[in-house]
């Protein structure tokens, strides 16, 4: 692992922590972050020629597996015609038509360049549409790093050692109300206190930034009803669940329709793409049509559209892939649970379809507080063991395991063997 170590030392001289996004620094698990040279299918290859079975999948986008040849070819083809025009393109029209066809709640959609940008924009539209300032988010949910959403956020914030973030103006955070995931009463309390001030409730329909926490029966439906009662908008942050749980995302999987939805990850096929959209009546407020301003030089970038269109088209043409993904997840995470029971370990496994998480706690994990009871030191030992076994997991207890269509039963059996060895070792 000399090349990764050398690259990290060089990187640290010019890049904060040597990385361009915190979690990949391996802070919570220690050791040297692997500098990845290439990837194909379910595998990563680092700069020291090590090969790893990848369960991060670039944090969700690589649902087809890395370097899917049809996606790569579409990107190569468009590159011959140019990389960025800063002007409208046919590809953006086709992408908008496809997204709105696949996700019924999407009557209009705007492309941006990241999940953070999608959420930031959706919140602004919700505030513009309702004329209200406050938003409700859930502790442990992560919606990107825009100021107002770095309040009891999940993902890297949970492990960064900072309560939320320096640099967020108090005034900005003041309009963000935190509720508890799977706890409708905590949401009702906010609405009761300020019934006419809340513009939106934003929720990860499956919380996948404090590990993986499924919505309990009635939770999402209850949010829908509360928003309808108080005139607030319901925003589903489907940056992770979108086009993963079903072709129409968690909203299709659970049968609850939001007013606005944010996307990222899979919609870009590995390229930097985000999107937000929903009811026409709301989205018509977005500039240049309406008074809610949002812009982006690289929004709808032709190379990114090519990758996203290619991936979404493959998923649209193969509805059987979702049955395969979800059955694969049920089998794999079910086998991990069986291993824990057989070895008398009290730990928890949460999963929804191809998203899952092994928590080193004996508590049932249903929200931020219970997720935080996990033994992160034991997780670090687990992560390092799996890395030695050639298995690449997200370097934090509070991230998800992402299965892809490229993961075969043989690969998953090898992973279960590695977990078995760990359980025998400790």
Task: Give the residue numbers annotated as catalytic, written as ranges.
Answer: 142, 237, 265
Stretches 21-29, 47-55, 119-127, 181-189: which one binds ligand HOZ (CB under 6 A)?
Answer: 21-29
CB-count burial class (<10 Å; 0-12, 13-18, 19+) for 354:
buried
Looking at beta carbons only, is 240 or 339 nearer to ligand HOZ? 240
- What DSSP character marks residue 164? S
**What is the three-class DSSP state of 245?**
coil
Give the integer Cα–Cα distance in Å for 375 and 351: 19
The only residue of 32, 130, 209, 241 in contact with ligand HOZ, by rule CB under 6 A: 209
Stretches 20-28, 29-37, 80-88, 349-357: which one binds ligand HOZ (CB under 6 A)?
Answer: 20-28
The answer to the question of residue 155 lying near ligand HOZ (CB under 6 A) is yes
Q: In terms of Cα–Cα distance, which of 244, 216, 221, 418 is closest to 336?
A: 418
∠95-117-306 over CA atoms, to 5°? 25
Residue 265 C-beta: closest distance to ligand HOZ, Å: 9
Looking at beta carbons only, is 259 or 399 nearer to ligand HOZ? 399
Give the integer Cα–Cα distance in Å for 229 and 260: 17
∠259-287-194 over CA atoms, to 5°? 45
Stretches 22-30, 64-72, 78-86, 341-349: which one binds ligand HOZ (CB under 6 A)?
Answer: 22-30
Write the interaction track for ligand HOZ spanning residues 380-399; mark x where CB under 6 A is met and - where it is not: -------------------x
Give the integer Cα–Cα distance in Å for 406 and 328: 11
Q: In terms of Cα–Cα distance, which of 192, 207, 198 is closest to 123?
A: 198
Looking at beta carbons only, is 302 or 356 nearer to ligand HOZ? 356
The answer to the question of residue 34 lying near ligand HOZ (CB under 6 A) is no
Residues 10-27, buried b or exposed e (16+ Cβ, 10 A)?
A: ebeeeeeebbeebbbbbb
The answer to the question of residue 26 lying near ligand HOZ (CB under 6 A) is no
Residue 360 C-beta: closest distance to ligand HOZ, Å: 19
Stretches 15-23, 39-47, 128-136, 255-263: which one binds ligand HOZ (CB under 6 A)?
Answer: 15-23
Helices then strands (H, E): number in the chain?
15, 14
Looking at beta carbons only, is 253 or 402 nearer to ligand HOZ? 402
Strand-pair category, 176-179 with 198-203 = unpaired
What is the end-to-end Cα distance of the chain in Å, rounded?
25
∠400-249-207 over CA atoms, to 5°? 35
- What DSSP character marks residue 41? B
Looking at beta carbons only, is 108 or 400 nearer to ligand HOZ? 400
Stretches 16-24, 87-95, 195-203, 281-289: which one binds ligand HOZ (CB under 6 A)?
Answer: 16-24
Residues paired with residue 356 on neighbouring β-strands, in sequence order: 351, 401
Write the interaction track for ligand HOZ spanning residues 82-111; mark x where CB under 6 A is met and - where it is not: ------------------------------
Looking at beta carbons only, is 56 or 283 nearer to ligand HOZ? 56
The long-range contacts involving 69-74, CB below 8 angstroms and separated by at least 24 positions, are 70/310, 70/314, 71/269, 71/270, 71/307, 71/310, 71/311, 71/314, 73/310, 74/306, 74/307, 74/309, 74/310
Residue 158 C-beta: closest distance to ligand HOZ, Å: 10
- Distances in Å between the Cα of 28 and the Cα atoms of 289, 294, 336, 398, 424 are 45, 35, 23, 10, 23
In the region spanning residues 108 to 137, those forming contacts with ligand HOZ, defined by CB under 6 A, are none
∠11-15-19 over CA atoms, to 5°? 75
The only residue of 26, 43, 55, 59 in contact with ligand HOZ, by rule CB under 6 A: 59
Stretches 18-26, 29-37, 122-130, 168-176: which one binds ligand HOZ (CB under 6 A)?
Answer: 18-26
With CB under 6 A as the rule, give the number of residues binding ligand HOZ: 10
Q: In terms of Cα–Cα distance, which of 195, 248, 255, 244 is closest to 219?
A: 255
Looking at beta carbons only, is 24 or 190 nearer to ligand HOZ? 24
The only residue of 1, 6, 17, 22 in contact with ligand HOZ, by rule CB under 6 A: 22
Looking at beta carbons only, is 197 or 237 nearer to ligand HOZ? 237
Q: In terms of Cα–Cα distance, which of 239, 257, 262, 243 is closest to 119?
A: 262
Residue 407 C-beta: closest distance to ligand HOZ, Å: 19
The only residue of 156, 242, 268, 302 in contact with ligand HOZ, by rule CB under 6 A: 156
The answer to the question of residue 55 lying near ligand HOZ (CB under 6 A) is no
The answer to the question of residue 23 lying near ligand HOZ (CB under 6 A) is yes
Residue 156 C-beta: closest distance to ligand HOZ, Å: 5
The answer to the question of residue 21 lying near ligand HOZ (CB under 6 A) is yes
Binding site for ligand HOZ (CB under 6 A): 21-24, 59, 142, 155-156, 209, 399
């Amino acid at each position: 692992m000399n090349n990764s170590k050398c690259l990290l030392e060089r990187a640290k001289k010019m890049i904060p922590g040597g990385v361009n996004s915190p979690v990949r620094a391996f802070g919570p698990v220690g050791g040297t972050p692997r500098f990845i040279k290439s990837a194909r299918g379910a595998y990563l290859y680092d700069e020291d020629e090590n090969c790893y079975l990848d369960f991060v999948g670039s944090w969700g986008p690589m649902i087809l597996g890395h370097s899917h040849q049809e996606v790569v070819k579409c990107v190569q083809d468009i590159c011959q015609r140019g990389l960025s025009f800063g002007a409208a393109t046919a590809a953006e029209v086709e992408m908008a038509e496809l997204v709105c066809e696949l996700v019924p709640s999407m009557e209009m959609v705007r492309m941006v360049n990241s999940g953070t940008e999608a959420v930031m924009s959706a919140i602004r539209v919700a505030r513009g549409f309702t004329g209200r300032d406050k938003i409700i988010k859930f502790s442990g949910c992560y919606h990107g790093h825009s100021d107002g959403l770095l309040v009891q956020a999940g993902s890297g914030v949970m492990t960064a050692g900072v309560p939320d973030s320096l640099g967020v103006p108090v005034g900005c955070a003041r309009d963000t109300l935190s509720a508890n995931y799977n706890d409708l009463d905590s949401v009702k309390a906010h609405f009761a206190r300020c019934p006419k001030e809340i513009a939106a409730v934003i929720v990860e329909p499956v919380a996948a930034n404090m590990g993986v926490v499924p919505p309990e029966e009635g939770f999402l439906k209850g949010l829908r009803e509360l928003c309808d009662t108080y005139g607030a908008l319901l925003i589903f942050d489907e940056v992770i669940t979108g086009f993963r749980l079903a072709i129409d995302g968690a909203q299709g999987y659970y049968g609850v329709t939001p007013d606005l939805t944010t996307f990222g990850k899979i919609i870009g096929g590995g390229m930097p793409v985000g999107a937000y959209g929903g009811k026409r009546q709301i989205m018509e407020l977005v500039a240049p049509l309406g008074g809610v301003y949002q812009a982006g030089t690289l929004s709808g970038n032709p190379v990114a559209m090519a990758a996203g269109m290619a991936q979404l088209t493959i998923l649209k043409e193969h509805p059987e892939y979702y049955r395969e993904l979800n059955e694969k997840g049920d089998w794999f995470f079910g086998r991990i649970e069986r291993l824990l029971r057989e070895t008398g370990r009290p730990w928890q496994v949460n999963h929804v379809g191809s998203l899952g998480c092994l928590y080193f706690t004996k508590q049932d994990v249903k929200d931020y507080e219970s997720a935080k009871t996990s033994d992160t030191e034991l997780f670090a030992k687990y992560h390092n063991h799996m890395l030695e076994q050639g298995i690449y997991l997200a370097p934090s207890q509070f991230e998800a395991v992402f299965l892809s269509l490229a993961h075969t039963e043989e690969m998953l059996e090898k992973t279960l063997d590695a977990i078995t060895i760990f359980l025998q070792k400790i």
